[in-house]
Chains A and B, each alone.
Chain A
Amino acid sequence: MSLLGFDVRTDERRRLISMAATLGVTIAAHTMLETARDALFLQKLPADRLTFVYVALALIALVLGRIGGWLSSALGRRSGLALSLTGSAFVTALIALRPITPPLLYVLYISTGVIATLTILQFWLVAAEQFTVAQGKRLFGPLAAGGALGAVFGAGLASVILQFGAVTSIISVAAGLFWCASVIVAFAVPGDEPSERVDPARAGERTGPETSVKSYSRLILALTAVSTAALLAIDYLFKSSAPKHFGEVELARFFAVFYAVTNVISLLVQLFLSPLIVRRLGVVTAILLCPLFFAGASAAVALTGAFAAVVMLKAIDGGLRHSLHRVTSELLLLPVPKGERDRVKTLSDTLFSRGVQAAVAAALLGLSTMGYAHVPVLSVIVGVLAITWAVIAAMIRRPYLEVFRRALALGRLSREDGPTTLNVASMESLMEAMSSRDESTAMAALDIIDGAKRPRLIPALILLHPSEPVVLRALSIIATPDRADWRDHIGQLLTHGSVELRRAALRRAAAAGDTEPLRRGLVDDDESVRSAAAFFSAWETDAPESHPEILRILEAKGEDGFEIRKLLLEVIALHGDARHRPIVRKVHEVDSSRRGLATHLAPAIESTGEDSLLDMLIEALGDRASRSAVRDALVALGDPAFERLKETLLDETTDAPIRFHVPRTLMRFLRQDAVDFLSERLEKEKHGRTRFKILRALNHLSVEANKDSKLRLRFDVELFEREALRNLTEHARMLSVAAALSIHEAALAHPETAVERALVALVNDKVQQALERTFRCLGVAHRGEDIYGVFLALTRGDKRARANAGEFLDALSFSQSSLREGLRAALDDSDVVQRARLLKDALRLRDVPPSHDLAVKALLHDRDELLAAMATYHVFESGLVTLINEARGTLTSRPHLARLGAEIALLPPAAEDAT
């Protein structure tokens, strides 16, 4: 699990070691090349010629990015890097073989810069492919340390070579090192991730960066520009101050000691501090540290003017620049989509670093020429740049989260349920489809137009369509009182052979106030048509329940009578009002013993507002077939129903199958008091499944609140975070049990029993469900965020999606720090045993079972009855002698476990037969 004390997983070792070796050898070669370059250049040419090469390098940097990009896209990232390193070896070797002339020195200087820019840029692009955000936070520190070690090694090797040979020998050795690095890349670094086939269902990934990504990229480039400027200004301040305090000999000694010390500090920070800081604080907070340190130190310089303060400023630079700053800069790029990441990284390492360096150098030269390059002025400049840097770093938090939000939302289904939007072209398609004689085509068009809430697009002539379902569907959409055109066809429909069509036509006509169809309906051959006509005949009376036709229906006997009353209820549901309440009560009285009555009564109750049947409705919640209609009716009844439902949920003696469905009925009220009541019950409810229903109801309310801000529903964030933590603790507890059981499983030589397999599966279910509940709570607490997307990414996504999801959570603000720590541990991509250990530490859990038997013992006493029952069965069945007495005790103290089957393993076969 650990490599030299670092948190490196077994499957990451090869990747990390090969990448660190690549960086180390490349940097060693580059350091040697720089040493030879500086020595040869300054020996043979005057220092002012350096300005030419600076400008040339800045210009070349502009095309380097394109070269690097072309190499990566043409060959793949890893092969591109290998080829660049081979090319570097080849160019360097050529230089080493040629006699040193002034033109060659320019070539040497420029090619050193080109090689460094190109290979390091490509290296970090490969690293971004090889590691996820989560891995980067752990591994970029040790990876960058490989580079630091390479620099130390390269400098040491150059010194040794210089003792015995010429400077040009260093170039030859550097060429050899570049070649070694290319071999490592080609043969040791694992291949690029296979490129996925472009899946159109994930179209967002190929449509280029969205606004959020673009603004994030711009901030990263701004950060690069400002930080490059600040670091260059610090360097200039230090180098211009030092000569004033030391003579020529002391100066060299001072620089030697200073760089040695800061290199050691940098290495230590690299190895130990930066991974810790990044993991503890998160990337977006860690990027604030460097500029804040620089701002503080520059303030000290400005206030005191002391050289010691300047040294401190530069020491901070030396300690953090290649460690924390480098690591956080690279990590910031990881969540950016691949193509955009390449573009930003290239711009950042070429134009924005080299270009800014050239511009700042020119500005400093100007200041110096004008005589303003004093410590106070320079310290103020550094301070302003550092503060600007910090401000940009602070601004990056929001777009950083936005990039993760986008990554999580990519390809996910929008729960859009608004009406379909129609334009002229789509209307043409619909009109054509509606005119089709094909039933399914015409029906599809009608459904779409209805969904789009544009009934006037349907001509009345469709009532002449040969298909009965099409006519019925069209009638239900267009036959409204505010339209007249359909009435011309009613007479024809009332003679139609279909009973259902005649009844529907009658209903529509009656509802629109036409009396003639009623008269025809009352003498129709079919009873159901006559009952509909009867209802509408009684429409105008104040006491419709006393109307002779209605009385006839209410008094009809047997199954036929019930069938007619169901039709009557159907008509009342569509057209009834408060005057029809007595009819509803009467039907309930007459047919109360009939199964499924609530399904028919509930819509009629909804339209009439009859509230004396509340108890019947609530009782019908236990019946799935009626439930949806019953819920609609309860919501329509308003306050009395709401209060009665609350009482039902509070009363723990209510039948479980009824009480169980109360939360999701209450959620339909979409009221603040529903949120408050359910939130309170979430904390107090003892029954696990009902609590889960309450949580799902609150999830629904929070989704509705997001969709419609006019609802103004408020949720207690702290309460939901507390609940999230409670569930996360439960997740940790079950995970520790799962870990203990998995160790045992791995060691088992014989197959498990069916019960033991089921027990392990149940524990794993509990682990997953507790995590799901945690995310459901978080979803309510942070309802503006796509927490569901995070959960999906974590449970269904690939490694990179999971890392993005984890990093997104890490960047969210929580009121409880232990929640963040716990989530970080829960989402760690290690195995179950390690994750259980991390969670135990993060949540400071005690009593974690260290062995299989102690895990089973814990389950014997678990609140969950099934877990306890299975554990008891397992103890008896597997003959776990150390736990048998404990299991007997469990059965004695919790006799109801026997109902679940816990005691069956105790029974002799004969007893089983007798059961």
Chain B
Amino acid sequence: MTDDPQRRIEYELFLRKFVMIVPTNEVIRQVTHAMEPLDVPAGGVVFEKGEPPRSIYFIVSGEIELAGDDATFRFGRGDVIGVIDASARRTHSRTARAITNAQLLVLSFSDWLDALEDHPTFSSRLRRSVGTALHTDRLTLGPRGGFPEPPPDDGLGVLADSVLTRLLAMREVDAFSSASVQALTELADKAHTVHASPGQLVFPPGAAADKILIVLSGEVHAERRIAPVLSARFGRSQLVLEASAFGEVLGEYAISAVTDASIIVIAQTDIDDVTEDHFDLFTSFLRATTVERERLRVYVNRPPSSPLRLKPKGG
């Protein structure tokens, strides 16, 4: 924890200038208070593969290399390292070593989570921004967006709608898979289900912007008609557009039923409400989207970045 005003100002300037989603003043103050500087000489190890992740590291200057079995990536000023493994709740998958003398700011991951939990408005913005970033990645992956094929029809037909069936479907969705049942139940209770016949347009473009959709049964089709176009199908217990949907991008799509389908409709504001009392909903989202983003980045052969990808704003 630093109490040196000069250092705090420098940290604040750094965070406000570089973080893509600028936190509120309260978050910045809380975070800068908990940050510590770390000078790593060229060749020094920041963390090693296999170590449990405890902190996230903001690169203020210098270059850091992340080396694993598969590939090596380089990061520089404005980048954050360590956040992917911490968010995914796994040991470090790469060793981080300074290529040049590097100056880092270190924030313990639990402090970061505390700041997010203490400031739900910011965590809500972060969720949407991560969703948007994922969607941007998807749009570069061709007209199918890199979405998996829907699962084969299980022959169960249209499922009876109830809180329990919604809950079970939600538990199958990656973004919710590590959330508490209690949180998901509250969300399932606030959600509603719409039923559609084959070919029926369930949501025209613009209609589902602030919602996420989970297919309870049947199959649906999501189509983005503006460039770059994207068209994908989603089946039972799949989140339409996967975690990209959290980016409020569903409004860009026309959603129609391919077969008889039931679709769970969840308002983003309801997710915000439930998250206020059940922060595990957010950490579950964070975990799933981190893995998804990493997977996509590998898919398009880019260095992995983070939900907190830093880059100078305005160029």
B-binding residues in A (CB < 8 A): 197, 199-204, 411-417, 420-423, 425-426, 429-430, 433, 438-441, 443-445, 447-448, 450-451, 624-625, 628, 689, 692-693, 696, 754-755, 758, 761-762, 765-766, 768-769, 792, 796, 866, 869-870, 873, 899-902, 904, 907, 909, 912-913, 915
Contact = CB atoms under 8 A, between A and B. Distances in A.
B5 to A, nearest CB: 5
B61 to A, nearest CB: 15
A6 B158 CA distance: 58
A429 B10 contact: yes
B30 interface: yes
B60 interface: no
Contacts of B108: 199, 201-202, 411
B8 interface: yes
Contacts of B12: 420, 444, 447-448
Given A420-B29, A425-B6, A440 B17 contact: yes
A901 B164 CA distance: 5
Contacts of B185: 762, 866
Given A765-B181, A866-B163, A413 B29 contact: no
Interface string B176-190: 000011100110000
Given A204-B1, A414-B34, A765-B181, A197 B29 contact: no
Contact of A201 (B10, B25, B107, B115): B107
A447 B9 contact: no
Contacts of A199: 54-55, 106, 108
B163 A900 contact: yes
Given A413-B30, A415-B30, A900-B164, A201 B111 contact: yes
Interface in B1-18: 1, 5-6, 8-10, 12-13, 16-18
B14 to A, nearest CB: 8
A757 to B, nearest CB: 8
Interface in B146-176: 156-165, 167-168, 171
A819 to B, nearest CB: 25
Interface stretch (B197-205, B245-253, B269-277): B269-277
With most chain A CB atoms within 10 A of its CB, the pick from B18, B36, B51, B312 is B36
A689 B186 contact: yes
B140 interface: no
Given A762-B182, A904-B160, A904-B164, A443 B16 contact: yes
B160 A792 contact: no
Contacts of A443: 16
A499 B277 CA distance: 41
Interface residues of B, number: 61
A413 B111 contact: yes
B160 A899 contact: no
B110 interface: yes
B182 A769 contact: yes
Contacts of A197: 47, 51
A444 B17 contact: yes
B13 A624 contact: no
Interface SS, B side: helix
Contact of B182 (A444, A447, A766): A766
B247 to A, nearest CB: 18
A202 B108 CA distance: 8
Contacts of B25: 447, 450-451
Interface in B107-163: 107-108, 110-111, 114-115, 118, 121, 156-163
A438 B277 CA distance: 39
B302 interface: no
Given A413-B34, A915-B161, 19 more contacts: A201-B108, A201-B111, A202-B108, A414-B33, A417-B26, A425-B5, A426-B5, A429-B13, A438-B314, A440-B313, A441-B17, A444-B12, A445-B13, A447-B12, A624-B273, A625-B269, A696-B277, A899-B162, A901-B165
A789 to B, nearest CB: 11
Interface in B84-125: 106-108, 110-111, 114-115, 118, 121
Nearest to A788: B114
B13 A444 contact: yes
Given A197-B51, A413-B34, A416-B33, A439 B9 contact: no
Would you list the 6 A-B pairs with minimal beta carbon distance, nearest first? A901-B164, A901-B162, A444-B16, A201-B108, A200-B36, A762-B181
A309 B171 CA distance: 72
Contacts of A413: 30, 33-34, 111, 114-115
B41 interface: no
18 contacts: A197-B47, A199-B106, A199-B108, A202-B54, A411-B108, A417-B29, A426-B5, A426-B9, A429-B9, A429-B10, A429-B13, A438-B17, A439-B313, A450-B25, A761-B180, A792-B110, A901-B163, A901-B165
B160 A901 contact: yes
With most chain B CB atoms within 10 A of its CB, the pick from A200, A426, A693, A866 is A200
B37 interface: yes
A700 to B, nearest CB: 11
A913 B157 contact: yes
B36 A203 contact: yes
A447 B111 CA distance: 23
B67 interface: no
B38 interface: yes
Nearest to A430: B9
Given A444-B17, A792-B110, A201 B181 contact: no
Contact of A796 (B38, B110, B273, B312): B110
Contact of B164 (A423, A441, A755): A755
Given A754-B171, A907-B160, A912-B159, A433 B13 contact: yes
Contact of B9 (A420, A768, A913): A420
B29 A416 contact: yes
B160 A915 contact: yes
Contacts of A754: 168, 171
B13 A913 contact: no
Nearest to B313: A440
A421 B186 CA distance: 42
A900 B160 CA distance: 11
Contacts of B165: 901, 904
Given A200-B37, A415-B30, A912 B160 contact: yes
A864 to B, nearest CB: 9
Contacts of A912: 156-160
B121 to A, nearest CB: 8
Contacts of A696: 277
B162 to A, nearest CB: 3
Contacts of A451: 25, 29
A291 B126 CA distance: 59
Nearest to A758: B181
A447 B16 contact: yes
A761 B181 contact: yes
A610 B77 CA distance: 51
Contacts of B111: 201, 411-413
Contact of B13 (A421, A448, A689, A869): A448
B164 A870 contact: yes
Contacts of B13: 429-430, 433, 441, 444-445, 448
Nearest to A207: B1
A628 B119 CA distance: 13
Interface in B236-255: none
Contacts of B34: 201, 413-414
Nearest to B8: A420
A448 B16 contact: yes
Nearest to A196: B54
Contacts of B5: 420-423, 425-426
A86 B221 CA distance: 75
Contacts of A915: 158-161
B177 to A, nearest CB: 11
A912 B157 CA distance: 8
Contacts of B312: 440
Contacts of B17: 438, 440-441, 444
A416 B30 contact: yes
